């Protein structure tokens, strides 16, 4: 494929120039021209008022669609604890598999049959598990080799994994080895009604832009999914499924885990598990302001988070940071105090069920994601809110 | 020791926006920078060279103007810079990018390959691990510390959600690095002089003996179907009234939502 300007239609109006992220459009002799800088991103196709920019298919673009059936979820564990995102993927996977009329299988490494059983109860129809020593700790090579082998043997149509340090590290190796596409860090998944392809939605450019990605020709279609954006399915203790043990012959590793060091910050863990988060930004003004937020959080039984601005000012430690470069959270209630709502913050909290924003600037972008917006002074509103809540709870 | 660092020239993403009406990128006045994570990879390469000796070669795949990014890394102290540029690379997704870079690294030869953990325009974190797979060498992602480098092995700390793992790997190895690893140095005056004079080696698809059907859009399994602006919540409303009324209204909502 390539992008072409239909010279007869082009009026030389220059509208297309700023649409190109790669500076690949120039005006030559009064007409637009696509240069060799073009990365085929298609951004320019829709901007031309004359419809003069078009994509041209080449013979070599046509490909046979790969084969596959079934949806797989890679369920990760660390030190015998199955990651929460695995259950979320089973919830999402169940929904997609039902649309496709196919089965959900889970793959579990470094765990016993009890873990496999747990995954069945969370919605898997079948679980492949491997409890060999070589996959007990996470190393990229054996994980990638074993998962690739299983995929090559059983040919699933879709493979999902958590966008965690483990998933984001070894799943790319699997995609590279199988010669198929992988979409990182998805925030929404769906099935295209017509083609049955997996629609993979993910943020790009630091969350300023969302993109829908397809893997139209090769199978499986692979995606890593951000934790806490998908809802878990129903837990059913009586659910039955098929459990298959797999070996790990001929699997090697050139890396070795010497030691695992825990540096658990209780706050960070609590933030991700919290039902209620009270978060502050630049408007909080300092450590003293955060004290006020702690009081509100305590009254509500919640935790305190912060925007990057507040962390950069040194008012609160990094482990409280929520957003693109901090934690992604999804509580039932998120109260944003004095947070303007930069996109980088929004991507870390917009999957919260209910968002309350308090900000003195009525134009603050945070209001665009807030279910309840309050324009006002946080130093007036927050203490009053705390007092009211304490009264109601009879404290 | 041969150290190769992969860098990417990216738009400064904090400035990139989308026009919600036309769903097109607005990039007026957006600067090109070296991906910030890659700066830490360059610094790590220089520090390894200082410790065990060798050469640091920086490689990027991109259009001809990516040369400015390469000169910047030479001003920091890199020995060589290589620009992988060819019309055939246009439209590459992570798979095709990693394939092309792996061919270039094969051509250059490397004991340690360093990449930033991800690029800030795509945020995929996939190219590094995929290069390692194409080269059939081990990789360790999210490196926050390099404990030890020898001629045949390396010990590093991998950042995890709940702490870190200490990992030993054989060489050659590919590492992707996080910001905690180091503070990238400023260019020296001598470096700036060197950067001006440096000859940037250019490699084409033919030079690296890449298979044509694995390059660019043709070699990319994934496609962007469309881009759009992040959507705002639909059920939003502003709470009006005096401060007391606002507080009372919101507390009432909390009770209704069973938050209290």
Write the pLDDT tens digit of every residue in B149-160: 999 999 999 998
Using H for helix, E for strand and C for coil, what is the string for B98-109? HHHHHHHHHHHC
What is the distance between the alpha carbons of residues A226 and A336, in angstroms, rounded to a whole number? 22
Is the predicted pLDDT of residue A395 greater than 70, yes or no? no
- Cβ distance of A344 and B236 shorter than 8 Å: no
Count Cα atoms within 13 angstroms, Cβ side, for A22.
19
- DSSP letter for A322, please: B
Give the pLDDT score at B27.
64
Percentage of chain A lying above the pLDDT 90 cut: 67
Cβ contacts (< 8 Å) between B99 and chain A: which residues?
Answer: 176
- Classified as helix, coil or strand, A116 is helix
Cβ contacts (< 8 Å) between A49 and chain B: which residues?
Answer: none
Give the pLDDT score at B21.
67
What is the distance between the alpha carbons of residues B127 and B138, in angstroms, rounded to a whole number? 14
Which token pair is A328? 């992604």
Give the pLDDT score at A325.
78
- Give B214-252 pLDDT, tens digit per residue: 999 889 999 988 888 776 555 678 898 898 999 998 888
Give the pLDDT score at B201.
97
Is the predicted pLDDT of residue B47 greater than 90, yes or no? yes
Is the predicted pLDDT of residue A58 greater than 80, yes or no? no
Is the predicted pLDDT of residue A41 greater than 90, yes or no? no
Indicate the Cα dihedral angle A113, A118, A121, A126, nearest 10°.
-40
- Cβ distance of A388 and B255 shorter than 8 Å: no
- DSSP letter for A313, please: T
- Classified as helix, coil or strand, B160 is strand
Q: How many CB atoms lie within 10 A of CB B187?
A: 17
Chain A: closest CA distance from residue B240 (Å): 7
Cβ contacts (< 8 Å) between A42 and chain B: which residues?
Answer: 224
Q: Pick B239's closest partner by Cβ from A218, A354, A374.
A: A374
How sure is the predictor about A353, in pLDDT bands with cuts at 50, 70 and 90? confident
Please name which of A27, A105, A119, A210 lies closest in space to residue B231, comparing C-alpha atoms.
A210
Give the pLDDT score at B28.
66
- Cβ distance of A1 and B91 shorter than 8 Å: yes
How sure is the predictor about A15, in pLDDT bands with cuts at 50, 70 and 90? confident
What is the distance between the alpha carbons of residues B45 and B81, in angstroms, rounded to a whole number? 13
Give the pLDDT score at A250.
87
Average confidence (pLDDT) over A299-325: 90
Average confidence (pLDDT) over A230-244: 93
- Classified as helix, coil or strand, B237 is strand
Q: Which residue from A minimizes the CA distance to B64?
A: A37
The count of CB pairs under 8 A between chains A and B is: 296
Q: Which residue from B minimizes the CA distance to A49?
A: B22
Give the pLDDT score at B166.
97
- Cβ distance of B254 and A368 shorter than 8 Å: no
Please name which of A327, A387, A26, A220 lies closest in space to residue B247, comparing C-alpha atoms.
A387
Q: Which residue from A minimizes the CA distance to B155?
A: A258
Indicate the Cα dihedral angle A272, A275, A281, A286, nearest 10°.
-100
* Top-ranked range on mean pLDDT: pick from A40-44, A175-179, B23-27, B160-164: A175-179
Give the DSSP per-residue string, A257-310.
EEEEEE---HHHHHHHH-SEEEEE-GGG-SHHHHHHHHHHHHHHT-EEEE-HHH
| Terminal CA-CA length for chain A | 68
Average confidence (pLDDT) over A362-374: 92
Per DSSP, helices labelled H in A315-364 are 343-346
* Cross-strand bridge partners of residue A82: A77
Per DSSP, helices labelled H in chain A are 84-100, 113-121, 140-154, 165-178, 266-273, 287-300, 308-312, 343-346, 378-393
Q: Higher pLDDT residue, A394 or B135?
A: B135
Q: Tell me if the bond preceding A368 is cis, omega within 30° of 0.
A: no
Q: Pick A43's closest partner by Cβ from B25, B91, B128.
A: B25
Average confidence (pLDDT) over B193-197: 95
Percentage of chain B lying above the pLDDT 90 cut: 71
Q: Higher pLDDT residue, A211 or B29?
A: A211
Listed in sequence order, the residues at least 6 apart from A101 whose beta carbon sits closer than 8 Å to its beta carbon are none
Average confidence (pLDDT) over A140-152: 97
Residue matched to tokens 């295209």: A192
| Terminal CA-CA length for chain B | 62
Average confidence (pLDDT) over A107-114: 94
Find which of A165, A220, A271 to mutate to test the B interface (most B CBs within 10 Å of its CB): A165
What is the distance between the alpha carbons of residues B161 and A164, in angstroms, rounded to a whole number? 8
Q: Which residue from B minimizes the CA distance to A148?
A: B133
Listed in sequence order, the residues at least 6 apart from B3 whose beta carbon sits closer than 8 Å to its beta carbon are B45, B48, B49, B54, B55, B56, B57, B110, B111, B112, B113, B114
The values of phi and psi at residue A324, to 5°, are -50, -45
Give the pLDDT score at A372.
92
Cα dist. B36→A313, B117, B157 in Å?
21, 10, 20
Give the pLDDT score at A275.
87
What is the distance between the alpha carbons of residues A109 and A133, in angstroms, rounded to a whole number? 10
- The total number of residues shown for chain A amounts to 395
- Give A202-227 pLDDT, tens digit per residue: 988 767 778 999 999 999 999 999 88
How sure is the predictor about A80, in pLDDT bands with cuts at 50, 70 and 90? confident
Q: How many CB atoms lie within 10 A of CB A126?
A: 19
Give the pLDDT score at A319.
84
Is the predicted pLDDT of residue B20 greater than 70, yes or no? no
Average confidence (pLDDT) over B168-193: 95
Chain B: closest CA distance from residue A19 (Å): 5
Is the predicted pLDDT of residue A233 greater than 70, yes or no? yes
How sure is the predictor about A236, in pLDDT bands with cuts at 50, 70 and 90? very high
Is the predicted pLDDT of residue B253 greater than 90, yes or no? no
Q: How many helices (H) and strands (E) does chain A have?
A: 9, 22
The values of phi and psi at residue A316, to 5°, are -155, 145
Cβ contacts (< 8 Å) between A20 and chain B: which residues?
Answer: 25, 27
Mean pLDDT of chain A: 90
Kind of pairing between the strands at A333-337 and A354-359? parallel
Residue matched to tokens 């470094």: A110
Q: Tell me whether residue A315 is exposed, middle or buried, using C-beta atoms within 10 angstroms of its C-beta: 0 to 12, 13 to 18, 19 or more.
A: buried
Chain B: closest CA distance from residue A239 (Å): 31
Residue matched to tokens 């955060």: A290
Is the predicted pLDDT of residue B108 greater than 80, yes or no? yes
């Amino acid at each position: 494929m390539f992008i072409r300007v239909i010279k007869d239609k082009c009026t030389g109006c220059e509208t297309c120039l700023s649409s190109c992220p790669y500076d690949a459009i120039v005006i030559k002799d009064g007409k637009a021209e696509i240069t060799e800088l073009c990365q085929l991103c298609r951004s320019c196709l829709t901007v031309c008022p004359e419809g003069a920019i078009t994509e041209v298919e080449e013979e070599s673009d046509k490909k046979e669609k790969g084969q596959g059936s079934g949806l797989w979820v890679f369920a990760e564990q660390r030190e015998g604890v199955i990651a929460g995102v695995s259950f979320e993927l089973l919830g999402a996977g169940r929904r997609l598999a039902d649309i496709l009329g196919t089965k959900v299988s889970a793959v579990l490494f470094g765990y016993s049959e009890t873990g496999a059983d747990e995954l069945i109860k969370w919605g898997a129809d079948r679980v492949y598990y491997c409890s060999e020593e070589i996959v007990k700790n996470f190393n990229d090579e054996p994980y990638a080799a074993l998962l690739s082998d299983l995929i090559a043997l059983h040919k699933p149509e879709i493979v999902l994994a958590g966008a965690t340090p483990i998933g984001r590290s070894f799943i790319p190796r699997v995609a590279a080895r199988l010669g198929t596409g992988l979409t990182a860090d998805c925030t929404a998944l769906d099935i295209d009604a017509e083609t049955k392809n997996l629609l993979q939605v993910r943020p790009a450019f630091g969350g300023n832009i969302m993109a829908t990605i397809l893997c139209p020709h090769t199978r499986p279609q692979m995606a890593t999914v951000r934790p806490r954006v998908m809802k878990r399915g129903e837990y059913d203790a009586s659910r039955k499924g098929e459990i298959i043990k797999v070996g790990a012959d001929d699997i090697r590793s050139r890396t070795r885990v010497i030691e695992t060091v825990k540096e658990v910050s209780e706050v960070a863990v609590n933030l991700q598990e919290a039902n209620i988060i009270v978060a502050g930004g630049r408007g909080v003004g300092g450590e003293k302001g955060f004290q006020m937020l702690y009081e509100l959080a305590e009254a509500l039984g919640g935790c305190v988070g912060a925007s990057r601005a507040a962390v950069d000012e040194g008012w609160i430690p990094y482990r409280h940071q929520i957003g693109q470069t901090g934690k992604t959270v999804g509580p039932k209630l998120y109260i944003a105090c004095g947070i303007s709502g930069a996109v980088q913050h929004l991507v870390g909290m917009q999957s919260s069920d209910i968002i309350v924003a308090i900000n003195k600037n009525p134009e603050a972008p945070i209001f665009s994601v807030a279910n309840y917006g309050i324009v006002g002074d946080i130093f007036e509103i927050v203490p009053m809110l705390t007092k009211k809540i304490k009264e109601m709870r009879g404290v | 020791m041969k150290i190769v660092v992969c860098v990417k020239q990216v738009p400064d993403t904090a400035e990139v926006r989308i026009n919600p009406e036309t769903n097109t990128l607005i990039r007026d006045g957006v600067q090109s920078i070296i991906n910030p994570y890659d700066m830490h990879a360059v610094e790590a390469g220089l520090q390894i060279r200082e410790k065990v000796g060798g050469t640091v070669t920086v490689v990027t795949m991109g259009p001809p103007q990516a040369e400015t990014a390469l000169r910047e890394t030479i001003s920091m102290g890199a020995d060589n810079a290589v620009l992988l540029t060819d019309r055939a690379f246009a439209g590459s997704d992570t798979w095709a990018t990693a394939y092309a870079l792996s061919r270039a690294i094969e051509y250059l030869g490397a004991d340690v390959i360093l990449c930033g953990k991800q690029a800030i325009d795509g945020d995929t974190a996939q190219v590094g691990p995929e290069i390692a797979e194409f080269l059939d060498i081990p990789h360790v992602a999210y490196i926050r510390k390099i404990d030890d480098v020898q001629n045949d092995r390396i010990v590093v700390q991998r950042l995890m959600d709940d702490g870190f793992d200490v990992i030993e790997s054989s060489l050659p190895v590919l590492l992707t690095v996080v910001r905690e690893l180091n503070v990238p140095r400023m260019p020296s005056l001598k470096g700036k002089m060197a950067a001006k004079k440096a000859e940037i080696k250019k490699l084409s698809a033919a030079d690296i003996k890449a298979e044509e059907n694995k390059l660019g859009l043709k070699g990319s399994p994934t496609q962007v179907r469309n881009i759009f602006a992040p959507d705002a919540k639909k059920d939003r409303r502003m709470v009006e009234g005096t401060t007391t009324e606002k507080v009372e209204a919101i507390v009432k909502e909390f009770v209704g939502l069973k938050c209290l």
